[in-house]
Amino acid sequence: MIEFYFDVISPYVWLTSHRLKKLQDKLNLEIQYTPVLFAGLLNAHGSLGPAEIPAKREYTVIDAMRWANFYGLKYEGPPQHPFNPLKALRSCLYFKENKQRAKWVELLLDACWSQGLDIRQDSTLLSLAKDFKINGDELLQAIASPEIKTQLKQNTIHAVERGVFGVPTFRVEDQIFWGHDRLDLLELYLQGKLNIDLNKCKEVLQRPRAADRRNHN
Amino acid sequence: MIEFYFDVISPYVWLTSHRLKKLQDKLNLEIQYTPVLFAGLLNAHGSLGPAEIPAKREYTVIDAMRWANFYGLKYEGPPQHPFNPLKALRSCLYFKENKQRAKWVELLLDACWSQGLDIRQDSTLLSLAKDFKINGDELLQAIASPEIKTQLKQNTIHAVERGVFGVPTFRVEDQIFWGHDRLDLLELYLQGKLNIDLNKCKEVLQRPRAADRRNHN
């Protein structure tokens, strides 16, 4: 079982979703789609998102467009960014069955990143629900339910506890793979072709720091 | 001409140096090796380095070890990290001829990341100078010279002005490629196989923001 932590706010999550199905079929993987709030990860780790540093924001747009071009995907991007992804993330939790959830996540990501739809809006979610042949009113009710709101919070807390600091992140057997650009390493790991000495890793992390910036701001 | 911005403090710069020679030979590239101070980039952009966020620091070590394993490189890592890279960076500027500088940078990076030597120390630099068959005393004198100190500062300022926020970064024709994991995209770009609509990119960047975290700390 592989856990896939995602937030629809990231173009790299969208790019990942397009590669994931192929990898899943190739290696016959069971992948748990777990929505988390990226902003919650940043808050917990005292980190900054790419959209919060102007030069990095600019780079992220062109980088995502380059990858889209590489994969043959149409990039449009959402009408606003960053945007509040809460409703969209909660909508994923309406689907209890994992394969159905995966399909909904794909639909949602394509709507946002490829078609340029505003997935914050009820009207967009209702229209996608219609395409997906589910009851849109039921979906909106579920999104507003305390159970689903709590579940998204819990997902984010659990992700932080497991060392997740960004999206997309994959977790398998206590190993974390961060970024759509680490899918090749994940594949090698799953095939037993990555040999990492975890004791060496621990030893390296215990070495002293010899320089720190005085002021981070 | 491709500009390669690097700081020896990054394991990804070390990993890059091993792929770079092959790419250089394959595409017959002229690559300008430009040392910059990563901490200076972070200061200028108000950004945080991976070593400044505990979960990200931990991830970066295992990620670098995975890539080293993938490339068949021995990973040892420096005795302290982060460390003050100033002398090591200045030593690169002693070499005016680009190919010689590239070879020195490779030697320095392998000493630090593969052999685990402390490249902050004069004794290490003297020993490497001996291997490189140059006058070590001359090297140390150059490192201490105001000209070379100023040049490193200028390099960092110019890099920031050009939108560079991390290392390794490649710059070609006003296009930036950040990260050792973007060498494949760089190669495609150089071969004319990436088709990005820069006007679209500008339009996307002009769209409004619809959500920001209240507090970044």
Q: What is the pLDDT of residue A135?
A: 98
Instruction: Check whether B217 has a pLDDT greater than 50.
Output: no
Nearest by CB to A79, from B164, B197, B207: name it. B207
Binned at pLDDT 50, 70 and 90, residue A213 comes out as confident
Q: Which residues of A touch B55 (CB under 8 A)?
A: 45, 163-165
With CB atoms and an 8 Å threshold, state whether A209 touches B51.
yes
B21 at A interface, C-beta within 8 A: no
* Sequence-distant (≥ 6) Cβ neighbours of residue A207 within 8 angstroms: B77, B78, B79, B80, B81
Q: What is the pLDDT of residue B195?
A: 86
Report the distance separating Cα A31 and Cα A20, nearest Å: 9
B 182-201 residues with CB below 8 A of A? 182, 185, 188-189, 194-197, 200-201
CB B16 within 8 A of CB B168: yes
Q: Which residues of A touch B36 (CB under 8 A)?
A: none
Nearest by CB to A69, from B75, B194, B207: name it. B194
pTM of the predicted model as reported, rounded to 2 decimal places = 0.96
A83 at B interface, C-beta within 8 A: yes
A213 is a domain residue: no
B214 is a domain residue: no
Nearest by CB to A83, from B46, B79, B210: name it. B210
Report the percentage of chain B scoring pLDDT > 70.
99
A120 at B interface, C-beta within 8 A: yes
Residue A97 to chain B, least CA–CA distance (Å): 31
Taking only the tens place, the pLDDT of each residue in B60-93 is 999 999 999 999 999 999 999 999 999 999 999 9
Q: What is the pLDDT of residue B215?
A: 59
Q: What is the pLDDT of residue A216?
A: 55
Instruction: Check whether A217 has a pLDDT greater than 60.
Output: no
Taking only the tens place, the pLDDT of each residue in A26-73 is 999 999 999 999 999 999 999 999 999 999 999 999 999 999 999 999
Query: What is residue A114's DSSP assignment?
Result: T
The CATH number of the domain holding residue A129 is 3.40.30.10
Q: What angle do CA A30, A34, A37 make, to 5 degrees?
A: 160
Report the distance separating Cα B78 and Cα B124, nearest Å: 12
> Which of B213, B214, B217 would you mutate first to test chain A, the one with the most A CBs within 10 A?
B213
A166 is a domain residue: yes
Q: What angle do CA A169, A177, B169 make, to 5 degrees?
A: 95
Query: What is residue B102's DSSP assignment?
Result: H
> Over chain A, what is the mean pLDDT?
96
B211 is a domain residue: no
Q: Which domain holds residue B44?
A: 2-205
Nearest by CB to B70, from A53, A188, A209: name it. A188
B210 is a domain residue: no
Pairing of strands A169-172, A2-6: antiparallel
Taking only the tens place, the pLDDT of each residue in A95-120 is 999 999 999 999 999 999 999 999 99
Q: Side chain identity at B148, as an amino acid letter?
A: I
B212 is a domain residue: no
A140 is a domain residue: yes
B76 is a domain residue: yes
Report the distance separating Cα B81 and Cα B10, nearest Å: 10
Number of domains in chain B: 1
Hey, which residues does A32 pair with through a beta bridge? A3
Interface pTM, i.e. ipTM = 0.96
Report the distance separating Cα B17 and Cα B103, nearest Å: 10
Instruction: Check whether B216 has a pLDDT greater than 90.
Output: no
Report the distance separating Cα A93 and Cα A91, nearest Å: 5
